[in-house]
Chains A and B, each alone.
Chain A
Amino acid sequence: MLATPAAPPLPSLVSARSLRSQRIGRAVRLWVPAGILIALLGICFVLPLIITLPSSTAGDILYNNEAPFSPGHLLGTNVQGVDIFSQLVSGGQVTFEISLSVTAIGIVIGGLLGVTAGYFGGWVDAVISRVLDILLAFPALVLALVIAEGLGPSELHLIWALAVFAIPAQGRVARGATLTLRGLSYMTAARLSGTRPWRIIARHVLPNIMPGIVTFSLLGIGIVVIIEGAIDFLGYGIQLPQASWGSMITQGQNIESVQPEYVLIPSIALLITVVALNMLGDALRERWGVQ
């Protein structure tokens, strides 16, 4: 996972100016997506605490179908008169809560399984790898829909259903990264000096596979955001009247030919979030030299 970054060109051959512009370019590629994500999180979680937004679940039918930028409604209102900006904020909260917890569960459980498999090898690896293969071959969509149908749709059920798909993905990455470390000399040195396996994992393996796991997780959060939206979109996720980006797209679908903005607004929110996550992942990968 960790590769040596390409050797920098000899200093004498590169002008100070192009070096500086490279440095600025790297900083921009890192901090612009990070800033967008921080702003989105701020809008979703902090803004409602500071100012009172209109209700995201109920609206005044007399003020329905208001255009964007109408007084009191930044992005207008939908057919039922519900404020679209409030819906976006509330849907964003749900999206971030679900995608962050799913990824956290994936990192902890999947990472633990993957590192264990990669470090110990042998039958431990064989058993864990097969279990991960099974989870990977089991379609996440089926699980999420069946859980929603059988146990009733809820945010918590959605989190566990999607975690079943995040765990094997993280496990694979952690196992692969651990395998590449296994033969390195500092690992052998640690083993020869009598360090216990768990201590080696905590002190030598985890810090070294972290860059790979973090960059992969950023991509993973983006994927979870899209899949979560898909499940809401099919009507098996977050239930009305609670808003979510996926269900906003579904509702907008009915009137899309007349007023495409009902579909476009949540789609753009989704797009910005995932683009920022992917760009941040790319920038960190470049900075840490992760393949």
Chain B
Amino acid sequence: MALVQQIQLQREAGARDRARRLTGSPTLRVAGRRLLAAIPVLIGVTFLTFSVMSLLPNDSAQAILGLNASPSAVAALNHTLGLDQPFWQRYWHWLVNVLHGNFGTTLQGASVNHELAIHVPITMELLLYALVVSVALSVIVAALAARRPNGIADRIIAAISMLGLSTAPYAFAFLLIIVLAVKLTWFPVLSGAVAGPGSFFKNLTLPACAIGFGLFSVYTRLLRADMVDQMQREDYIVTAKAKGVPPWRVLLRHALRNSLFTLITVIGLNLGGLVGAAAIIENIFSVQGIGNDLITGISNHDVPLIEGITLVFALVTVFGNLLADLAYAVLDPRIRYGSSNS
């Protein structure tokens, strides 16, 4: 009896083990859990957007038909657009359409999908440009600063990054325009359409600088603090130094490599805010990106357009967070995901 029970217990334990091995990869488990958690967040954001949009006056039909339209014509158009339906029905209708990949039509009659397809790549180009340059620069500069903490280079870099952290991007954008566009005329004041690499650099360099200065400062401060911290307390640094690895190599191969994980996490977490910053900068330089589109959409009360763009913002934020978590789980084996903190 006891033996049968024992065998059964062992079998159950074996089944549990197999199940655990299948679902056992911590990375996959984290990925799955995060993806599931992202669904209610995205639904929540769309619902919130929809509720907030009801603050705008319901004048889409009037705006399309013009001020002289008769009330009956306005009512008829409201009916065709579905604007006379109750809130819940409109939201449900929109959600079903979005799940089918249809974001609706703007007030001008263009499809929101089309608008997004035109404007999203421009914003992505701009952000990627700013991101790549600021990450590359901050890695070099932070390594320089961390080589001799409190040395001259470190102090200068600390001052510059404090300045970048505290500068309002729009104010910095004007400084760039005054100096580089108006006085030196190296770059155009307003960015034109991008066609080919030459015009890419000509048109997007100033906006990318305006966005990138802040990013560069945040990343530099982060990397420098992390590297100095490691150099002072981690055992593997002591080991590396003790076995005669040259200081530069210790800094780059042992400290920087670990700090990059932290950097990737922060980049992922900040992606959402980045899109918001792009809106203002695009507006200043009249870059025809999604942020500029958003501001036009809000002043025109173009509800479907605003909803589409907000959804893109939310998607970027949610997947940025997801990527940050995954990068952490994949790159840093020290991270153990317990069941208690998710």
By a beta-carbon cutoff of 8 Å, the part of chain A in contact with chain B is 6, 121, 126, 130-131, 133-143, 145-147, 149-151, 179, 222, 226, 229-230, 233-234, 246, 249, 253, 256-257, 260, 263-264, 266-267, 270-271, 274-275, 277-279
Contact = CB atoms under 8 A, between A and B. Distances in A.
B174 A256 contact: yes
B62 interface: no
B178 A256 contact: yes
Interface stretch (B47-55, B74-82, B128-136): B47-55
B163 interface: yes
Contact of B162 (A6, A135, A150, A275): A275
A260 B179 CA distance: 10
Contacts of B44: 130-131, 133-134
B336 to A, nearest CB: 14
B166 interface: yes
The DSSP consensus for interface residues of chain B is helix
Interface string B28-66: 000000000100111011001100110111000000000
Given A150-B55, A229-B170, A136 B317 contact: yes
A256 B295 contact: no
7 contacts: A130-B41, A137-B41, A139-B310, A142-B306, A147-B55, A151-B55, A253-B174
Contacts of A278: 162, 165-166
B299 to A, nearest CB: 7
B283 interface: yes
Given A146-B55, A257-B182, A275-B162, A139 B275 contact: yes
A233 to B, nearest CB: 5
Nearest to A272: B166
Interface string B272-299: 1001100110010000000000110011
Contact of B310 (A6, A142, A249, A270): A142
Contacts of A142: 49, 52, 294, 298, 306, 309-310, 313
A121 B341 CA distance: 8
A24 to B, nearest CB: 15
B147 interface: no
Interface residues of B, number: 51
B68 interface: no
Given A6-B232, A133-B37, A142-B313, A257 B178 contact: yes
B73 interface: no
B170 A230 contact: yes
Nearest to A130: B40
Nearest to A236: B298
Contacts of A246: 170
B340 interface: yes
Contact of A138 (B40, B45, B163): B45
B166 A274 contact: yes
Contacts of A6: 232-233
B318 interface: yes
A135 B166 CA distance: 25
B224 interface: no
The DSSP consensus for interface residues of chain A is helix
Contacts of A145: 295, 298
A134 B57 CA distance: 25
A121 B340 contact: yes
Contact of A234 (B166, B232, B283): B283
User: Could you say which of A141, A226, A270 has the most chain B C-beta atoms within 10 Å of its C-beta?
Assistant: A141
Given A137-B318, A150-B57, A263-B178, 7 more contacts: A133-B37, A138-B48, A142-B298, A142-B310, A150-B55, A275-B163, A279-B162
Nearest to B57: A150
Given A136-B272, A139-B310, A234-B283, A149 B56 contact: yes
B280 A230 contact: yes
Contacts of A143: 52
B226 to A, nearest CB: 10
Contacts of A233: 170, 280
B99 interface: no
Contact of A222 (B56, B166, B340): B166
B310 A263 contact: no
A256 B340 contact: no
A118 to B, nearest CB: 9
A256 B178 CA distance: 7
B63 to A, nearest CB: 13
A121 to B, nearest CB: 7
Contacts of B167: 271, 274
Contact of A270 (B41, B171, B321, B340): B171
B177 interface: yes
B299 A149 contact: yes
B175 interface: yes
Nearest to A132: B41
Contacts of A267: 168, 171, 174-175
A264 B178 CA distance: 11
A229 B171 CA distance: 10
User: Could you say which of A6, A131, A257 has the most chain B C-beta atoms within 10 Å of its C-beta?
Assistant: A257
Nearest to A260: B178
A26 to B, nearest CB: 13
Given A137-B45, A140-B276, A234-B280, A229 B168 contact: yes
A260 B177 CA distance: 11
A12 to B, nearest CB: 20
